[in-house]
Amino acid sequence: SEAAKADAAAARPHHHPPPPPSLRGRDGSGTGPRFELRETPKLVRDVMSRKLFTVEPDTILKDLQQHMHTFRIGHLPVVDGEKLVGLVTHNDLLHASSSFLSEQANERNAIIHTVPVSRIMQRELITVGPDDTLIDVARIIWEARVGCVLVVENDDKLIGIVTEGDFLRIAHHFLKGAAEAPT
């Protein structure tokens, strides 16, 4: 019956579906990739991605790897409400998966896919604020050897992310400016 199906769906752990590709890597105008910077960036808020695909701690691992591959997402913030509580990277998912060389890979992965994100997420996170300088963030990413920093406000409310890819955009911005400058 339809009521039984609705009850079963409500009982399942809540899972955020992946965003459409237009939500990541676009400039808000919807007209193309968000690679060009409009002005010279100085602060985190100038380059951070604001539209994020997030998961909750009880989200199961089953579809996360496919979503990350499909939408080219390397870092998944884990939130409880609006509060940042963890991070799952593509490498974390690979580490949690059974090796394809194992004779029991399919059986092991079937079990692993039922595990909640909270079992594999990173809990010690590097966070910055929107008004932190990009110079400081570049140093933090370099010294900590991480692929991203998470941007938070008031009581760990997640508002954005800055990745190594964002620093490639910044490098492109400055290199393009230098190449176009008269000599």
Summarize pLDDT for 16-59 with one digit per residue, the tens.
444 333 333 333 333 334 677 777 889 999 999 998 889 899 98
Q: For residue 91, what pLDDT band results from cuts at 50, 70 and 90?
A: confident
Distance CA 106, CA 109 (A): 5
Dihedral sign computed on CA atoms, order 51, 139, 41, 33? negative
The 10s digit of each residue's pLDDT in 102-124 is 666 666 666 667 788 899 899 99
Residue 15 has pLDDT above 50, yes or no: no
pLDDT at 90: 84
88-104 in b/e form (b: 16+ CB < 10 A) is bbbebbeebeeeeeeee
Query: Which amino acid belongs to residue 98?
Result: S
Kindly state the helix (H) or strand (E) to which residue 107 belongs, with its residue range.
helix 105-112
Residues contacting residue 48 through CB under 8 Å, at least 6 positions apart: 130, 151, 159, 160, 161, 162, 166
Q: Residues 78-91: what's their mean pLDDT?
A: 92
In degrees, to the nearest 5, what angle opens at C-alpha 48 toward C-alphas 166 and 40?
Answer: 70
pLDDT at 99: 54
- Give residue-wise pLDDT tens across range 134-155: 999 999 999 999 999 999 999 8
The shares of helix, strand and coil residues in the chain, as percent rounded to the nearest 5, are 40, 20, 40
Does residue 160 carry a pLDDT above 90?
yes
